[in-house]
């Protein structure tokens, strides 16, 4: 089967190349906004790709600053915009909107892999061609199917240049022909996601991590945040940011980007180990967007414990639960496994040994002690929840019950973890 994957590498641009890339990034964002204007102003019967393509070609002729964007990159903007509307019509995303200068990330598409001209220079460095930018160097951290290794089954089909807080990166789109994965025969597991214990597994183990920033980095971030607020207070409304304030913003963004890279690295390593070991992985089907909503309320009806809820929201966002599940889904599929999402209600209140929900069993946030007559099961609260998740996932896969029943049932017979 064909497998589509991405590989991200750091670019090392000269000063002139950096200016050229930023000009193209601004032009690509402006192109998106102009296409959005054109699309929303026309009647529905006149909206089509052919007319949009003609408008883009005319716009690149009439506006010289749009001409810095390569023609194929401009076409890629149109295709991405149309794809966004398709996703909206099919209910997978919201309608596309304007891209703000400071709220969007610069991105430049190179849709044709043959235009990249990728060459490996030595063990650590590679070189590629970016239209209207020139030959640029990138860190070679993964073998790419280029040169003699490239064929119809395994090749680089395109790339995208993206600007992040620590500079420009390139994301290669790699297509490979891989055999169908054999069915995974390992044990099953349920995973409970939390804050104190990031991942609690039903086999009694935990996957934990330390702070993403060291003490020195955290202190520096705190000082930069204070400096940012102090400099913002001296700025008049509508006045352009000073260079010192802009530099402070950049330093804060770099530290936060460092924390995110470390978090993603930990998630990749952890999810790979879980996908290799277990055949069926059960997780809660959480509405994370609703969980991190602000408790501020309105002026007429203000919320309570607003600061505590804001801290909880930051902690949940920092763990990136949704990204963990996304990684587990495609990594498990690569190895013949499966990820099963089960309803979240009562997974932490139900006893994994007897199946009863008894008031008072959740003694503390970290301890579960069943109060049902004749049970007395004690365990870590997160481990108990992960066992219930594993039981519910097994019922969903084997047909022994309906996932909808776990929302209202007062008792659910426990099942032993089994191989899929």
Q: Which residue has the tokens 């390593």?
A: 269
Give me the half-sphere count of Cα atoms (radius 13 Å) on the Cβ side of residue 202: 31
Q: Give average pLDDT by consecutive 10-residue segment, the chain, 420 residues.
A: 87 94 93 91 84 87 88 91 91 89 88 90 93 94 82 86 92 88 89 90 90 94 93 82 90 93 93 93 86 74 78 86 92 91 85 81 80 81 88 71 38 40
Q: Which residue has the tokens 């004749």?
A: 374
* Domain ranges across the chain: 2-177, 182-216+251-420
For residues 104 and 250, give the distance between their C-alpha atoms in angstroms, rounded to a whole number.
15
For residues 395 and 203, give the distance between their C-alpha atoms in angstroms, rounded to a whole number.
18
CB-based contact 245:235 (threshold 8 Å) = yes
Give CA separation, 324 vs 49, 104, 271, 355, 372, in Å: 36, 23, 7, 28, 34
Give me the half-sphere count of Cα atoms (radius 13 Å) on the Cβ side of residue 129: 12
pLDDT computed for residue 25 by the predictor: 93
For 192, the enclosing helix (H) or strand (E) is strand 188-193
CB-based contact 187:370 (threshold 8 Å) = no
pLDDT computed for residue 255 by the predictor: 94
Summary count for the chain: helices (H), strands (E): 9, 14
CA-closest candidate to residue 52, choices 81, 25, 19, 72: 81
């Amino acid at each position: 089967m064909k497998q589509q994957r991405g590989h991200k590498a750091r670019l090392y641009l000269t000063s002139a190349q950096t200016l050229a890339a930023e000009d193209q990034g601004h032009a690509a964002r402006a192109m998106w906004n102009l296409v959005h204007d054109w699309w929303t102003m026309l009647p529905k019967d006149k909206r089509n790709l052919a007319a949009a393509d003609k408008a883009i070609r005319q716009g690149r002729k009439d506006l010289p600053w749009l001409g810095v964007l390569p023609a194929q990159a401009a076409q890629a903007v149109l295709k991405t915009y149309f794809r966004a509307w398709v996703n909206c019509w099919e209910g997978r995303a919201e309608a596309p909107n304007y891209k703000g200068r400071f709220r969007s990330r610069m991105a430049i598409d190179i849709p044709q892999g043959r235009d990249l001209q990728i060459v490996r220079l030595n063990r650590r460095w590679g070189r590629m061609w970016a239209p209207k930018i020139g030959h640029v160097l990138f860190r070679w951290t993964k073998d790419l199917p280029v040169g003699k290794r490239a064929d119809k089954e395994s090749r680089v089909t395109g790339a995208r240049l993206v600007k992040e807080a620590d500079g420009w990166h390139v994301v290669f789109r790699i297509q490979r022909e891989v055999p169908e994965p054999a069915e995974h025969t390992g044990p099953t597991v349920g995973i409970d996601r939390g804050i104190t214990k990031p991942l609690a597994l039903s086999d009694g183990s935990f996957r934990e991590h330390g702070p993403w920033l060291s003490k020195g980095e955290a202190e520096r971030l705190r000082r930069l945040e204070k400096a940012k607020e102090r400099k913002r207070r001296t700025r008049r409304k509508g006045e352009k940011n000073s260079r010192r304030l802009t530099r402070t913003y950049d330093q804060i963004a770099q530290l936060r980007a460092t924390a995110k890279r470390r978090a993603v690295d930990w998630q990749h390593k952890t999810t790979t180990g879980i996908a290799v070991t277990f055949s069926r992985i059960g997780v809660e089907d959480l509405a994370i967007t609703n969980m991190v909503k602000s408790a501020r309320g309105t002026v007429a009806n203000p919320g309570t414990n607003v600061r505590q809820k804001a801290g909880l929201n930051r902690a949940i966002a920092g763990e990136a639960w949704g990204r963990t599940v996304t990684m587990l889904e495609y990594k498990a599929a690569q190895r013949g496994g499966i990820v099963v999402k089960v309803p979240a209600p009562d997974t932490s209140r139900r006893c994994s040994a007897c199946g009863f929900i008894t008031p008072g069993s959740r003694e503390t946030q970290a301890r579960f002690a069943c109060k049902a007559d004749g049970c007395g099961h004690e365990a870590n609260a997160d481990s108990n929840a992960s066992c219930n998740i594993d039981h519910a996932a097994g019922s969903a896969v084997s047909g022994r019950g309906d996932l909808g029943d776990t929302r209202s049932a007062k008792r659910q017979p426990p099942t032993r973890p089994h191989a899929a």
